[in-house]
Amino acid sequence: MFTGIIESFGTIQRIIREGSNVHYILSSPISSELKIDQSLAHDGVCLTVVEVTPEQYRVTAIDETLKKTNLSSWSEGKKVNLERCMPANGRFDGHIVQGHVDQVGTIQSIADQDGSWLFEVSYDPTLGNVTVEKGSITINGTSLTCFNSGLGKFSVAIIPYTYEHTNFHQLQVGDPVNLEFDIVGKYIQRMLKGYSQG
């Protein structure tokens, strides 16, 4: 389990395609602390560390992951947000994040608010995901509070610290972002809708 509090950046050094799988080799300040078989969230996508060196590590994404996230748009040199799993005795600073992306959204606009940034995000509402005003949302692995919630859209405000210490400073209008909706909201929605409606 994760909390959506970004710990570090990872920089993609190499991308290797092997059949339907894609291997990503990344460098990071925490590379030397990682262990094989460890779960690590990359822009909100939980991936397993399969190889470690003092400077770099490797993770592998299968076809299903590539289809449901923005990993297929990654390129060498890209910075990704990293978060290790929450320790059992850790402080819970964000919200419950599983590292399972629900769908990809799109950055619709970015407005400089003279001290913060307003990001408007859209997503396909036909997949059944919803946000609520002042509820939690995870964008590229970052725990945020959404507002201006509507059908297939919402906004988030990004403070300078978050802007600088996550890859929000790299995002541009039109970019795809990984969205994980609040797990509590998803359970409530499932109870209300039942299983007959998907």
Please indicate, yes or no, whether residues 107 and 75 belong to a single structural domain of this protein: no
Has residue 25 been placed in a domain? yes
Non-local (6+) Cβ contacts of 134 within 8 A are 145, 146, 147
pTM of the model as a whole: 0.90
Please indicate, yes or no, whether residues 176 and 148 belong to a single structural domain of this protein: yes
Instruction: Give the separation between CA 182 and CA 188, rounded to whole angstroms.
Output: 10
Please indicate, yes or no, whether residues 78 and 125 belong to a single structural domain of this protein: no
Please indicate, yes or no, whether residues 129 and 174 belong to a single structural domain of this protein: yes
Has residue 89 been placed in a domain? no
At 97 the pLDDT is 85
Has residue 29 been placed in a domain? yes
The residue range of the domain holding 112 is 103-193
pLDDT tens for the chain, residues 1 to 198: 888 899 999 999 999 999 999 999 999 999 999 999 999 999 999 999 999 998 999 999 999 999 999 999 999 999 999 999 877 667 777 788 888 999 999 999 999 999 999 999 999 999 889 898 999 999 999 999 999 999 999 999 999 999 999 999 999 999 999 999 987 767 677 667 766 555
At 96 the pLDDT is 80
Instruction: Give the separation between CA 109 and CA 98, rounded to whole angstroms.
Output: 27
Has residue 90 been placed in a domain? no
Q: Which of 51, 84, 117 is the last residue of a domain?
A: 84
Instruction: Give the separation between CA 116 and CA 162, rounded to whole angstroms.
Output: 10
Please indicate, yes or no, whether residues 69 and 108 belong to a single structural domain of this protein: no
69: helix, coil or strand?
coil
Has residue 2 been placed in a domain? no
Please indicate, yes or no, whether residues 31 and 80 belong to a single structural domain of this protein: yes
Q: What are phi and psi of 50, to 5 degrees?
A: -115, -10
CATH number at residue 119: 2.40.30.20
Please indicate, yes or no, whether residues 115 and 177 belong to a single structural domain of this protein: yes
At 184 the pLDDT is 72
Give the total number of structural domains in the chain: 2
What long-range pairs does 9-14 form, CB within 8 A, spacing at least 24? Answer: 9/79, 9/80, 9/81, 9/82, 9/167, 10/42, 10/79, 10/80, 10/81, 10/82, 11/77, 11/78, 11/79, 11/80, 12/74, 12/75, 12/76, 12/77, 12/78, 12/80, 13/56, 13/76, 14/76
At 187 the pLDDT is 67
Burial of 23 (0-12, 13-18, 19+ CB in 10 A): middle
